[in-house]
Structure 1
Amino acid sequence: MPTSTSPAPMPKLPTLTTQAEHLIALGVHDPARLPTHVLRSFAAESAADGALLAVHPDRVPASALAPLLRHGDKPGFVVSDMTDVDRFTSCGIDLPDAPLYLAAGIDRGDHMANWSPEEALPALAEQGRTPLLLTEGIHWVLNQPAALERNRCFMTIGSRLRKPDGTLDARTPALWLSNGTGRDGRERRGAPKVGWCWWRNRHTWLGFASTEGRRI
């Protein structure tokens, strides 16, 4: 089993009302077809500060959320060879049947850095945790930018792409900060990046983000 490292301390998530207001300020409610009062009411009526407020991926996909990410003055983007990003959907995870839901006990999974997705998935299950979806990971960074830092980034292996023959694509989505190399372009150095890694590959700078559970 790969060597683990100690997880970096993470500040507490903003309150749910603060998260809701930030999503509204970013305009997330528009593509999600959610009146602002619905977002505000959901946040106000949920007694679960410390949880992540997420919009169901059926309402707003990763391609619409990624450009809203910011690191310094750099906007987020999806890598150019991931034009099918929105086809990476929930795999083996039951999501609440509601436009808004909460994900509790979010963890970046730093202790799993240098593990492969293939190794991390069963380990998370043994711990009673489930991996984050890509859209959940983006929501997390939108409301807690400190979740994404140089050499401390994360994969979101709760989202997978199922091919027409029923098998799973070997790519697994992740969020990290671009080095500005290759097709990213120098102007994107330090920008939040939605990309992918192989199912059996390890990366020293990628943990595996997960949650204790989801609920309305």
Structure 2
Amino acid sequence: MTSKHTIPQPGTARNRPGSTDPGAEFDRQVHNLAERDYPAMARLTPEQFTALVAPLRDLVTDVGHEAWAPDTGRVPFLLVVTRDVVPIERATARTTLHGRTGPGFVDRSFEPGALERFVAVEETGLPDRRVYLLLDVERGEEFCGAVPHDALDTIAARGRTPLTIEEGVALITHFPEVLVKNKCFSLGGSRSGDRRVPAIWISRHTPKLGWCWEGNPHTWLGMASAGSRRAAVER
């Protein structure tokens, strides 16, 4: 880092996924959020937003690069911004499909106030931080056609964790090429106490945040998961 609270701008050698430099990928993700107006949506100056996320950069230096394969739905880490910083609806509206410009949207099947009730389940061990890293992320298309409840049991048996809504939005924000036809994904890490499981899929040529029933399988909908989460230590 060039200073305590400065994230370098991504250079010409690091403008797309695939770099072997985790620090450069972190810088790209920060720059990506800045381009999508995250500082303004968070009611922060660009400098304040950089100061918020900058401590996480040192936590990616030991992340391996062999898993960079966003076109197959696998990435080593994501910079996640929680709803305490940017509301889910506004973050979703800053997503697009790869190669398209239409903004993502929250489906109207979420009745008024419902989205706020979809919170992280205890099993995720979600960090008590406004921003954090999600590691070893998989889109989870192997679970396409599986009952979501069964997919969640399998993920738990592997010692992995399902993604929350904010993490799913982060995945397609940083890697829009992950969301493709017939390889969309549920976000079982956020629940509202009923049988609904949130999910992101494609509708009207753009990402849509909706939900499906935990007992209903869909051939085009898998279950996204991750290996762990990592947060900076407060000082």
Contact 1:88 1:159 in 2 (8 A): yes
Mapped pair 1:36 → 2:67: no
Does structure 1 residue 109 correspond to structure 2 residue 135? Answer: no
Tell me the amino acid that sits aligned with residue 218 of structure 2: H
Correspondence for 2:121: 91
Q: Does 1:66 align with 2:74?
A: no
* Number of aligned residue pairs: 190
Structure-1 separation of matches of 2:224 and 2:42: 24
Aligned partners of 1:73 and 1:21: how far apart in 2? 18
State the identity as a percent. Answer: 36
What CA deviation, in whole Å up to 9, does each residue of 1:50-84 have, x standing for no partner?
31110133322321211111121211001112142
Q: In the alignment, residue 102 of structure 1 is paired with which amino acid?
A: L
Unaligned 5+ runs, structure 1: 1-10, 162-167, 179-188
**Contact (CA 8 Å) 2:56, 2:132: kept in 1 or not?**
no
Does residue 141 in structure 1 map to residue 161 in structure 2? no
Higher relative contact order (CA 8 A, sep 6+): 1
Amino acid at match of 1:202: P
Q: Secondary structure at the match of 1:15?
A: helix
TM-score under structure 1 normalisation?
A: 0.81
CA RMSD across the alignment:
1.9
TM-score w.r.t. length of structure 2: 0.75
| Cα 1:12/1:39, change in 2 over 3 Å | farther
When structure 1 is superposed on structure 2, of 61-70 and 151-160 the one drifting more is 61-70
Cα pair 1:61 1:135 within 8 Å, conserved = no
Q: Is contact 1:103-1:214 (8 Å) kept? A: yes
**Can you give the 5+ residue segments of structure 2 that lack an aligned partner in the other structure?**
1-16, 64-75
> Quick check: 1:54–1:102 contact (8 Å CA) kept in 2?
yes
